[in-house]
Amino acid sequence: MANQVRKYGFVIDPKRCIDCRACLVACRAENNVPLDHTRIWVYDQGVQGQFPNLSQQFVPYNCMHCDEPPCVEACPSQATYKRPEDGIVAIDQEACIGCGLCIDACPYHARYLNPTTGKADKCNACIQRTQQGEAPACVATCVGGARMFGDLNDPSSDVFKALREAKTSKRLKAIGSDTGPNIYYINDTVDEQSLAITESIMPAADEFYKKFVIPAVIAAAGATFLGQAVAFAKQLSKGESEFEE
């Protein structure tokens, strides 16, 4: 968004991640995430290189808070929305009907269906904390400082400085579309292939709705409305007779 003052995003330095998963625990505690599910992940990319020069890379991962989020486009009730004030993609739990379209639409698979509420859930950058000026739980708890969060538009923010000083920076592109993800991976190469990033999926029901049902309904209701409008105009121009209906 052009006139957006703040643009919150993550900067992640995978080299600093030791796969302790304290961020997952912190997130679960902060956001009441049910067991067997998580809002954030740490992907293990396996051992790389030739002995004896081996390295292992871990990729902290969560919602990208995209500039053009496909989940927001998919949501029928606009329960999922991009906050205009800071760009965080959040879910209005009361408006969500749990249809799961956003879960299919997200090419990053950053959403899950919460079995306790029956509704979609995902990283909301801990808005309850960030609105108070605190860092999200995962960032605050990160021992190695791999996760950073802040206003990408503010030159004095941690993320801005980290990005400016980074040797390399990379955003993970979705297949088939550029959604403008707002996680920057710095100082390391991240192998996108291993992260199960896919295309944004539109289920057949949704395609049927948008391509067939809406035009059909508009055509049918429009036709009868026009027909009746013509009939009414004719009736008025004809005038009323006194003795016959």
Partner 1 sequence: MTTEVLSLAERKRLRKTKIRKHGLANIVTHWFNVFSWFLLLLTGLGILGNPDLKIMPQGYIDFMRNLFGSIGGLVETHKVFGLIWLFVITYNVLLGLRKYFVPFAKKRMLLTHDDIQWLKLYGQKLLGRKVTLPPQDAYNAGQKIYGYIVILGTVLIGTTGLIMTFGYLLPADMRWLLQWSRPIHFGAVGMVVAGLVIHVYMAAFFPEEKSAFFSMFTGEVDALYARLHHKKWYDEKLVEERDYEMRVRLEEIEAKEESMAELRE
Q: Which of 127, 140, 182 is nearest to 10 (CA)?
A: 182
| Dist CA 151 CA 157 (whole Å) | 6
**Does position 67 bind partner 1 by CB under 8 A?**
no
User: Which residues, 6 or more positions from 186, have their beta carbon under 8 angstroms from its beta carbon?
Assistant: 11, 12, 13, 162, 163, 166, 167, 168, 169, 170
We find the least distance from the C-beta atom of residue 225 to partner 1, in angstroms, to be 5
The HSE-up count of residue 177 (CA atoms within 13 Å, CB side) is 17
Q: If binding is defined by CB under 8 A, does position 36 make contact with partner 1?
A: no
| Site for partner 1 contains 201 (CB under 8 A) | no
Q: How far apart are the first and last CA of the chain?
A: 60
Q: Residue 241 Cβ, how far from partner 1 at the closest point, in Å?
A: 9
User: Min. distance of Cβ 224 from partner 1 in angstroms?
Assistant: 4
Task: Answer whether 38's CB lies under 8 Å from 62's CB.
Answer: no
Q: Give the interface size with partner 1 as a residue count (CB under 8 A).
A: 47
Query: Contact letters (x/-) for partner 1, 102-131, by CB under 8 A?
Result: -----------x-x-xxx------------
Cα separation, 176 vs 178, whole angstroms: 7
For residue 1, the minimal CB distance to partner 1 (Å) is: 15
Q: Does 145 bind partner 1 (CB under 8 A)?
A: no
Q: Is 220 left (phi over 0), alpha (psi -120 to 50) or beta?
A: alpha
Smallest distance, partner 1 to C-beta of residue 207, A:
9
The one-letter amino acid at 85: E
Decide: is 233 part of the binding site for partner 1 (CB under 8 A).
no
Residue 214 within binding range of partner 1, rule CB under 8 A: yes
Between 180 and 203, CB nearer to partner 1? 203
Instruction: State phi, psi for 204 to the nearest 5 degrees.
Output: -55, -35
Pick the binder of partner 1 from 23, 40, 79, 174 (CB under 8 A): 79
| Residue 184, CA distances (Å) to 125, 179, 191, 203, 242 in order | 15, 14, 14, 30, 79
Site for partner 1 contains 95 (CB under 8 A): yes
Which residues form the interface with partner 1 (CB under 8 A)?
73, 75-79, 92-101, 113, 115, 117-119, 203, 205-206, 208-210, 212-214, 216-218, 220-221, 223-225, 227-228, 231-232, 235, 240, 243-245
